[in-house]
Amino acid sequence: MGFVEERHRPPCTETQKVPGMFVRLPGRIIRSCFLVLTVVSAIAFLVAFKYPITDIHLAGVYINGTKLRTENVSRPVSSVKMAQPDQKGNPSDKNPITSPKPQPQLKVKTWNRPDENPTFFKRREHKVTPLDFKFTISSDICADGQTDLIIIVLSMTPHRDFRDAIRETWGNAHNNTWAGTTLSQVVRLVFLFGTTENVSKHEDLLKEASKKRDIVQANFTESYFNLTYKVLSGFQWVKDHCPSAKFVMKNDEDSFVHIPWLLERLRSTAWNSKIIGPYFTNQLRYTAGKLAVSDHAYPFHVYPPHVKGNVYVMPTNTAMQILEAAEYMPYMNMEDVHITGILAKVVGAGHKAIPRSEYNPMRRPNVCEFAQRKKFAGRDVSAKYARDIWVKLENPKLCR
């Protein structure tokens, strides 16, 4: 009977039909809407969490190939606060060397090769890596103004045996002689350091500096990450204390160089206008481990052409151009790539490769190869091995 009554009910108006529809389907619609809203909210939350919308103040960050404004660019992650030395040469407690506050790791655009974004290699409008090195220990080794080649050896305070071996062997050119060979140019050498918190080691270094007169210490914290600062501080020291030098050579303390052979090459225009060293191209950037470089510091997967940091030589005027350009580029912790690759590209410096047969940075040289003039340079040379090589250089008959 109810069914008959439903059939004969008067037809409803349009306004009556609409409420009827929502009365019959409220549960399904509400559940569907709730599910959609939940999914959309979750996605929005995840996107906002991973890619925060914020103003980026990191030098070297680009969006769609366009450089961000640089008016408020902050100092790089690697920047340090320089300390003023006290009267004893120790870093002052009033102005301690401090580590920077961690910067937010924001998403940046990256490229594969340097030529895909040449804008990155343009100087910034303002200084983004201010350099203000003070020297807590210095040397007057260039005071006579007659230096042709200044050698800067990066050293660590505990490695006295390395330094003494270099002084006794390939770095021994004070009287313009080298293993019985008269040198055509004046060569000087200094050992370069950062600061250490170990008071006794610092005191030992002060004594060594007083006796040997070949120690230079700048007020940055000694660390692997700060190696770029270390080399740039060496360039600053050359600018301030050895401006007469025509060429600058940077060395690690486990290297060995045939100095007369180098001086011969520096007389050639094919060599004396470029950055000389073991030349590398198409090297990939590391993103983890000791050699890691962040996207912020270098937003490419491939490094520009550069020479490896064990041994490299350049004209002093090139070193000064690199030092000046470094303040207007983001800091990068891979010293050889930054100085001989990125900054060299910024200032337009070229490279001259040392033939792999004369210097293989991946293999230690044979003890007789320098005496036989087969090796121009070598690495992974211990203090004892350096002395063994020197014995053969002074008496080449031992290698026959």
Model confidence at 105: pLDDT above 70: no
Instruction: Say if 6 falls within a structural domain.
Output: no
What is the C-alpha separation between 380 and 400, in angstroms, rounded?
Answer: 24
Does residue 92 sit within a domain? no
For residue 85, tell me if it sits in a domain: no
Please state which of the ranges 8-12, 194-198, 251-255, 257-261 shows the lowest mean pLDDT.
8-12
Residue 238 in any domain: the answer is yes
| pLDDT tens sequence across 222-236 | 999 999 999 999 999
Given this model, what pLDDT does residue 22 score? 41
Q: Average the pLDDT over 204-228 and give the result.
A: 96
| β-pair partners for 252 | 154
Q: What is the CA radius of gyration of the chain?
A: 32
pLDDT of residue 288 exceeding 60, the answer is yes
Rounded CA separation 191/218 (Å): 11
- Got the DSSP string for 96-121? ---PPPPPP------BSSGGG-GGGG
Is residue 37 domain-resident?
no
Looking at the 3D structure of the chain, how many domains does it have?
1
Examine residue 375 and state whether it is found in any structural domain, yes or no.
no
Residue 211 located in a structural domain: yes
What CA–CA distances, in Å, run from 57 to 48, 54, 251, 300, 338?
19, 9, 35, 19, 21
252 pLDDT above the threshold of 90:
yes
Report the amino acid identity of residue 96. Answer: P
Q: Is the pLDDT of residue 268 over 90?
A: yes
pLDDT tens digits along 111-157 = 999 999 999 999 999 999 999 999 999 999 999 999 999 999 999 99
- The residue to which tokens 């961690």 are assigned: 102
| Two tokens, residue 92 | 């002052």
- Residue 377: enclosing H or E segment and its boundaries? strand 377-378
Mean pLDDT of 356-365: 93
pLDDT score of 189 more than 50: yes
Structural domain includes residue 207:
yes
**What's 252's domain CATH number?**
3.90.550
Residue ranges making up the domain that contains 297: 135-358
Nearest-angstrom CA–CA distance, 142 and 84: 24
* Average pLDDT value for the chain: 82
pLDDT at 26: 58
